[in-house]
Structure 1
Amino acid sequence: MAQVFKLVFVALLIAQSQASILRSIFADDSCQGRCNVTGTVPGAPCQCNTACVRYDDCCPDYYSLCLGQTGSCVGRCDQSGTVPGTCQCNKPCVDFGDCCPDYSDVCQPTDGVSDRELEDLGEELLGLDTESNAASYIQLDLQGKTSSGSSQDVAPLPLMTVASAAYTRPTIQKLLALHDIYDANVNIGEAYSAAEEAKINDFLDAIFATPIMQRAQDFLASKNLPNGRSNFYELWFGLFSRGNGALGSCGLEHVLMAELRGTDNVLGFHNWVFYALEEAASRVNYRGWMETVDLGSKGSIIEHNFVWQNTNKPVSSMFVGTSPELELALYTVCFYARSGAKCGVKLNGQVVKIQTYTSGSRGQFVGTAYPDLSG
């Protein structure tokens, strides 16, 4: 028995000696000279063999030194945890903004829709925004810049001066007819009457006849994502509860109009048409801007602070001058391609992030959608 213990002890000494030699030769936190070393180096903080990907203990330079990949997701898709010193290839990287450049193309996190495809589609849709675009009829007076979430001490002048011709644009006219359908209080249940359904269908007829919506629907269909008029109706006009049981909200009301929860919480309010009319009626008090994006002749995007019906909304954002179909097309595509995450679309040469969230037991409704200029 003593002889067996001696053999085991010697074997352990040899193993420890080999590990010590390896550690003394190679830097603990680098794969320099260690690529595909057989087995695990005991005590080393990271490894450099093919198994390290599975066990999530690769050294920071494993992919660049051992696999010849710099900033790539090849072989790393959905890798658990964060790999120090490099870009990431798991789903949280979308929220943290540290994905490798080829994450979408290689890992295909959302039905094969790449970041590049979304960016190109955004630019294409903006180019198609002609018939109902109203940017040429709007004059913005941005005035003072305010820090995020704070109000200026003195209320500035109105943000927008809008010529009446803006409201005669084809789909904007149809949108105006929807403004009197909803009660802003989300705690009050709603149901569509036959006359209201007729107004909704008129609006849908108008926007689905536009090149913008047709292109967006074709794109969704090509990616095997939900598309078509009936799906769009449920997505934007389906009524749901925001927490109290009453079916008092829908995506379109929230995004293209506005909602109130109680007396001190403004929800949604991401459309310039509704904003301009409320401001003209002295129900909105503009309090300053945080960020803007220039869309050239097509309009702009603004992140701003305002008071509506005596209730402050510290930070909000909206497209200005663009058509309803452009906004709904961008939001719908992003809802399905990057639901719950920031969705990058290129607009006038700049990548703008669109944020969407779902509502409903199946995530079948738009909870909210807006341009996120927070960076």
Structure 2
Amino acid sequence: MARRSQQADQELTEVLNQLWRLDTNRLSLGADYIISIQGRAAYVAQGSNYARDRARAPLFTYVNEDKLKSIETYAHFINLLDNYEVSTGVSETVTSEELKENHLFIDSLMETEVMKCAHKYLVGKRQSSSDPEKFKKQLYDIWFRLYHRDRGGGEDSCGFEHVFVGETKFGQEIMGLHNWVQFYLQEKHGHVDYKGYKARGNKDTPDEDDHVLNLQFSWKGLVKPVGGSFIGVSPEFEVALFTIVFLMSTEKMTSVVVKVDEYLLELVVYRHGRSIGTSFPKLLSSNNRDL
């Protein structure tokens, strides 16, 4: 297990801040979305199906869906969210249409300045080929290549499904679901119930304009005690960021502390062979506060 010190990794911080500045498809609070932080979530044990609700209203008060659907990467991303069996242990079947959707999503990512920057950085670090087609294949293997997550099952999971869509383990535990677009859409349809924010201490609460939150929520009759998620950022930003962290380490688990914009984050990536097992941010502090 590789866990770097709490000192921000300076080089990684620099490239991730480049990605942040290039993320022109990041949504703006107020104009594009509104969230309601509400109360601090209570302690819940892993595997529980009950949590006190410290947030009577949804997390997302408003999201400009027309804008989401007008941006190519978001539109292709949303098309992928209904392509998976939620429960692990159930083999995934990828249809020709779903395969096409996967490749359209990767193609759209490659058109963004965020992914071009990530690709250039990885080429410089000799972690990726300069050939865009070979890099696309590498991205596909990292995020969409199916693998066995649970013993006894078939190829039941992939990095994209786990991180962005979410999974349940034997109907007992929520795994993944670290993406704000999926969270919003699931919440809109009544499948997700936001229970409140999670904090490291009692000193402060997150702000509505924070782009990273630690959340507690219920989904599929289960409770996720805490899950870290970026808010408002584009799909290309998350894919680029976690691809870089994944490729810059060969360890089973990598944890790196970086300062992105005003946020001190712990970025966690678990490896599953040549693919991502899971990846998520943990908010350590924001606006120089100890959360």
TM over 0.5: yes
Distance 1:293 1:205, change over 3 A: farther
Taking the aligned partners of 1:257 and 1:166, their CA distance within structure 2 comes to 21
Query: Is 1:257 aligned to residue 165 of structure 2?
Result: yes
Structural RMSD (CA): 2.3
Aligned pairs for 1:75-94 (under 5 A) are 94=3
Distance 1:343 1:294, change over 3 A: farther
Taking the aligned partners of 1:323 and 1:344, their CA distance within structure 2 comes to 21
Q: Give SS of 1:341's match.
A: strand
Structure 1: any 5+ residue segments left out of the alignment?
A: 1-90, 102-113
Residue of structure 1 in register with 2:145 after alignment: 238
Query: Is 1:318 aligned to residue 220 of structure 2?
Result: no
Please list the CA deviations of residues 321-342 of structure 1 after superposition, one character each: whole Å capped at 9, or x if unmatched. 0000001111110112245221
Aligned pairs for 1:138-287 (under 5 A) are 138-149=33-44, 151-153=51-53, 156-161=56-61, 162-168=63-69, 169-226=71-128, 228-244=135-151, 245-287=153-195
TM-score, normalised by the number of residues in structure 2: 0.83
Residue in structure 2 matching 1:372, options 279, 282, 288:
282
Distance 1:349 1:305, change over 3 A: closer
How far off is 1:349 after superposition? 3.6
How far off is 1:170 after superposition? 2.1
Taking the aligned partners of 1:344 and 1:221, their CA distance within structure 2 comes to 23
- For 2:36, give the aligned amino acid: D
Identity among equivalent positions (%) equals 29
- Native 8 Å contact 1:185 1:262 kept in 2: yes
Taking the aligned partners of 1:216 and 1:194, their CA distance within structure 2 comes to 29
Distance 1:293 1:367, change over 3 A: farther
Distance 1:225 1:242, change over 3 A: same
Greater strand content:
2
Residue of structure 2 in register with 1:134 after alignment: 27
Query: Is 1:125 aligned to residue 19 of structure 2?
Result: yes
Taking the aligned partners of 2:40 and 2:159, their CA distance within structure 1 comes to 30
TM-score, normalised by the number of residues in structure 1: 0.65
- Native 8 Å contact 2:216 2:224 kept in 1: yes
Please list the CA deviations of residues 57-97 of structure 1 after superposition, one character each: whole Å capped at 9, or x if unmatched. xxxxxxxxxxxxxxxxxxxxxxxxxxxxxxxxxx86x35x3
Taking the aligned partners of 2:180 and 2:67, their CA distance within structure 1 comes to 11
Greater helix content:
1
Q: How many residue pairs get matched?
A: 263
Taking the aligned partners of 2:72 and 2:160, their CA distance within structure 1 comes to 18
- Native 8 Å contact 2:79 2:101 kept in 1: yes
How far off is 1:358 after superposition? 0.6
Q: Give SS of 1:367's match.
A: strand
Residue of structure 1 in register with 2:9 after alignment: 115
Please list the CA deviations of residues 136-192 of structure 1 after superposition, one character each: whole Å capped at 9, or x if unmatched. 411110000124547335552100121223422221101011112111111111132
- Native 8 Å contact 2:214 2:283 kept in 1: yes
Aligned pairs for 1:44-83 (under 5 A) are none
Distance 1:293 1:325, change over 3 A: farther
Q: Which structure is larger by alpha-carbon Rg, 1 or 2?
A: 1
- Native 8 Å contact 1:242 1:249 kept in 2: yes
Taking the aligned partners of 1:307 and 1:212, their CA distance within structure 2 comes to 32
How far off is 1:246 after superposition? 1.3
How far off is 1:134 after superposition? 2.1
Q: Give SS of 2:198's match.
A: strand
How far off is 1:263 after superposition? 1.3
Structure 2: any 5+ residue segments left out of the alignment?
A: 46-50, 130-134, 200-204, 286-291
